[in-house]
A and B are shown apart, each in its own frame.
Chain A
Amino acid sequence: MREPRVLTAAEAILEAQDQALAADPAVFLMGEGAADPKGIFGTTAGLVDKYGPARVMEMPVSENGFTGIAVGAALMGRRPVVIHQRVEFCLLAMEQLFGNAAKAHYVSDGRHRAPLVVRLVAGRGWGQGPQHGQVLENLFALVPGLKLVLPAGPADAKGMLLAAIADDNPVIFLEHRWVHYVSGEVPEAPLPAPLDGPRRILAGGDVTVVAASYMTLETRHAAAALAAEGVAVDLFDLRVARPLVTDAIQESVRRTGRLLVVDTGWKTFGLGAEIVARVTESCFADMAAPPRRVGLPDHPTPSSRALAEAYYPRAEHVAGAIGALVGLPDARVAAVHATLAAERRQVPLDIPHPSFKGPF
């Protein structure tokens, strides 16, 4: 039997761009650092040597400007991939994203298309602090006309990035820095993964859980530990936050009567708030317990690992929320917590992976 082909999500993203650049001369990359020696956490490493500086374009520090330039090129039929090393850098480009990218197709009554991808890397850990550690996925999910994609692992990272590049709409591709380190099997062929919404990654009948981006991984750990205590989670990886498709989630909630949403942003006004509201509107009568959310508390991201530990929910918190939803007795919740803490023991809480040595 053939060995599985294992890549990290960062390597999968690199491979997707490499294959897209090779396949379509209209595709090009634009980013601060896209052609530098470190290549955006390795996700563009070597591409400038292969495709040249006209297709792997090093950018001036002009986020709004080059986003607008990318939109203009996209209107002319090019397929730019804009890359920001931190979500916060893209805040300077919201005017072009919310205005020109999101509305080009609508306001032109369908005549314009803006096939643009914006890759955003969300920071976490190693003291990233208040202005290098925000995900802000709800902000990017806000505006009709943009798509928002949240890969949680390497296969989707590659497949959904290929699909995003092939898509005729502006797609925000939000990469959690800790997802970059996740490894898994990735097919070599350039197979797009449809941007069609949530995917069930565990089947269970006790509780419906929707998780997004990196929190999908924490939730998977929680669900595995809960399984040992007899709790069966129907777990969805959200994958695409806009357009938001909740049909399968609703179908699940009608069976389980219980819903938890786990995202990477602030709980207040977060993706969880929207998903809970939408599902509750149609499934209220089937619900056996009030729906719940796990998200960040209402304060900025602190730098010190002592403070950050209190800030970020982990598998233990997710398990606690699920336990409360299904009425798991305290002693059995404690057993789940003990399992999860033991699994986590080797890796400090402020890094994604034992190999991680900072500084970003």
Chain B
Amino acid sequence: MNPAREPSDQELRDLYRAMLRIRLIEEEIAARYAEQEMRCPVHLSVGQEAAAVGACAALRPADQITSSHRCHGHYLAKGGDLRAMLAEIYGKAAGCCGGRGGSMHLFDPDAGVLASVPIVASSVPLAVGAALAFQQRAEDGVAVAFLGDGSLEEGVTHESLNFASRFHLPVVFFVENNFFSVYTPLDQRQPARPLAALAAAHGMPALEADGNDVLAVLKATKEAVADARAGAGPTLIVAETYRWREHCGPNYDNDLGYRTEDEFLAWKARDPVAAFAARLSELGAMTDTDSDAMAGAIGAEIDAAFGFAKAAPFPDGATAAERVYA
């Protein structure tokens, strides 16, 4: 044990725990999806846990994040309530949106999950707006927009980067490049240049981090967040990672032929959760007993949360017309 290590052993274990928790939750959704009770689209983030966890570990509770259709991992990493998430996916009144949003609209104002929006790039300006609110109130909050590689093809992303840079806003644009938009590979959609090169065009710094390495992500995000908090303006972070399961739904879809099994297996061999477990055990920061205990506790939490969500009542149909206006 080396108490002076940064992050500390406890922090390292917390990072591992957060990733493992997302992994196990997503896998449980996948396992139960065939029951046909979660009747909304799900975009699982299995394989991308290090990006969500590393980035959110650099944030304070009052900082705000925004996400996309693939929001489960971000929501959980930022501290979003698991029961409210599952209840939402089950369409229940106790869901974070009261059953009005489904899995693509996860938000938790108490945890700083401002909004998730399933229109590609649509939530990016919302994060910039949150950053503008921080700046106007002279608060030192930071906003992080999570976006996919596909979002970089949308005009509103560039409008948001331009604006954030022009007004020196405390916002971090965190791009998870998983190389696909649905089934269309990046090279069919964008020219061959590093995604990070876009930052220079908008007059902001770029950082690249291995998106499967939670510590690399944490380090980059900490740097960007520190700059943002200090008033130095936005940063674009690009983290390469890989979605394991199908674009939408619980299964694997490599059989469709849009990517090769070899490519998938190569990424799977770089499993961000397992790799980090191995690293921690090498460092002596986590024993097998520790990780088993963690998995056991998380499993119990997940079981209880699914039990809660399944047993929770549906919203009253008569309330569907309520809350259109404040």
Residues of A at the B interface (CB closer than 8 Å) are 28, 54, 60, 62, 64-78, 95-96, 99-100, 104-113, 115, 144-145, 147, 168-169, 243
Most buried by B among A76, A77, A99, A147: A76
Taking the complex as formed, is B98 at the interface, i.e. its CB lies under 8 A from any CB of chain A? yes
6 additional contacts (CB under 8 A) given A73-B132, A77-B133, A107-B100: A66-B125, A68-B125, A72-B133, A100-B126, A106-B324, A108-B100
**Do residues A64 and B100 form an inter-chain contact, with CB atoms below 8 A?**
no
* Bound complex: CA A110 to CA B107 (Å): 12
**Do residues B324 and A60 form an inter-chain contact, with CB atoms below 8 A?**
no
**Do residues B156 and A105 form an inter-chain contact, with CB atoms below 8 A?**
no
Residues 128-168 of B at the A interface (beta carbon under 8 Å)? 128-134, 136, 143, 155-156, 158-160, 162-163, 166
What 0/1 readout, one digit per residue, does chain B (93-124) give for beta carbons within 8 Å of chain A? 00111111100010101000011010100111
Q: How far is the CB of A150 from chain B (nearest CB, A)?
A: 18
Most buried by A among B125, B132, B136, B159: B125
Report the 5 A-B pairs with minimum CB-CB distance, sorted nearest first. A72-B129, A65-B159, A68-B125, A109-B98, A76-B133
* Bound complex: CA A69 to CA B136 (Å): 13
Q: Among the listed B117, B128, B143, B159, which residue makes an inter-chain contact with A100, where contact means beta carbons less than 8 Å apart?
A: B117
**Do residues A60 and B166 form an inter-chain contact, with CB atoms below 8 A?**
yes
* A residues less than 8 Å from B66 (CB atoms): 72
**Do residues A99 and B122 form an inter-chain contact, with CB atoms below 8 A?**
yes
Task: Supply 23 A–B pairs (Cβ within 8 Å), ascending by A.
Answer: A60-B163, A64-B156, A65-B163, A68-B126, A69-B128, A72-B131, A73-B136, A75-B126, A75-B130, A76-B114, A96-B122, A104-B115, A105-B323, A106-B324, A107-B97, A108-B97, A108-B100, A109-B98, A109-B99, A110-B326, A111-B109, A112-B109, A115-B326
* Bound complex: CA A111 to CA B159 (Å): 28
* Bound complex: CA A96 to CA B105 (Å): 15
Interface size of B in residues (CB-CB distance below 8 Å): 44
Q: Among the listed B97, B124, B128, B325, which residue makes an inter-chain contact with A109, where contact means beta carbons less than 8 Å apart?
A: B97
Q: Among the listed B101, B128, B326, which residue makes an inter-chain contact with A169, where contact means beta carbons less than 8 Å apart?
A: B326
* Bound complex: CA A54 to CA B155 (Å): 25
Contact status of A64 and B129, CB under 8 A, knowing A108-B97, A109-B323, A243-B325 = no
**Do residues A64 and B155 form an inter-chain contact, with CB atoms below 8 A?**
yes
Contact status of A105 and B97, CB under 8 A, knowing A72-B132, A100-B122 = no
**Do residues B324 and A65 form an inter-chain contact, with CB atoms below 8 A?**
no
**Do residues A95 and B122 form an inter-chain contact, with CB atoms below 8 A?**
yes
Q: How far is the CB of A64 from chain B (nearest CB, A)?
A: 5
Contact status of A69 and B107, CB under 8 A, knowing A64-B155, A168-B326 = no
- Of all chain A residues, the one with the shortest Cβ separation from B110 is A111
